Amino acid sequence: MNSEIHKSYFESLEKFNSEADKYEGKLVKLIAEFVEPKNKKVLIVDDEESNQTVLSSILREFKYVPFSVRNGEEALKFLENNDVYAALVDNNMPVMTGEEFIYFLRKREARKIRRNRNFKPSYLIAMGQGLSKKALEMCNAEISKPIDMHELLYVLDKRTRLHKKNSKVYSQ
């Protein structure tokens, strides 16, 4: 009798998990339809291809346009000619670390702000660990690794709300 109860329990649990997966998939698609920032460029600064692949997949699902570079030096070059909605920045990379990239970028942006008060600095999202407190303070948000889709979308949504708030302030 006890084994029948266990079997019934596990069958019910399996059926529930299967249904939950279906609903989560539908929910993700539903959210994707209503996510406001369509075709916004997001720069992924990470030397690990697997992280670039996962992040790109999530971003595309929600109508963002991902671009990937392998280190801070490549990111600085990319940003010379491209505006991005946000940049996801890892720290541990060859050539130029995420921390060095953040310092160089913020220094360059400070010069641009002095020349043009309407210039808007990049929205930086630190990924993983290893950044100093000073570097983290220069970022707009932080997410942990391994990347959690919900956390990433929350941080990007926060960016959208901040942009809307600032747009209202500038237009008044």
Spatial CA neighbour of 148 closest among 168, 122, 117, 125: 125
Q: Which two tokens stand for residue 96?
A: 């130029």
Q: What is the pTM of this model?
A: 0.72
pLDDT band at 53 (very low <50, low <70, confident <90, very high): very high
pLDDT in tens, 18-45: 655 555 555 555 555 555 556 789 999 9
Highest mean pLDDT among 46-55, 118-127, 147-156: 46-55
Q: CA angle, corner 127, sides to 126 and 128, nearest 5?
A: 125
List the domains of the chain with CATH numbers.
37-171 (3.40.50.2300)
CA distance 94 to 75: 12
Q: Which amino acid does the sequence have at 18?
A: S
Residue 91: predicted pLDDT: 81
DSSP 67-118: EEESSHHHHHHHHHH---SEEEE-S--SSS-HHHHHHHHHHHHHHHHHH-TT
Say which residues have a Cβ less than 8 Å from residue 120's Cβ, sequence separation at least 6.
Answer: 166
Q: Which amino acid does the sequence have at 66?
A: P
H helix or E strand, kind and range, residue 65: strand 64-69
Query: For all residues of the chain together, what is the average pLDDT?
Result: 78
Q: Which amino acid does the sequence have at 116?
A: N
Please compute the mean of the pLDDT values over residues 41-64 and round it to a whole number. 90
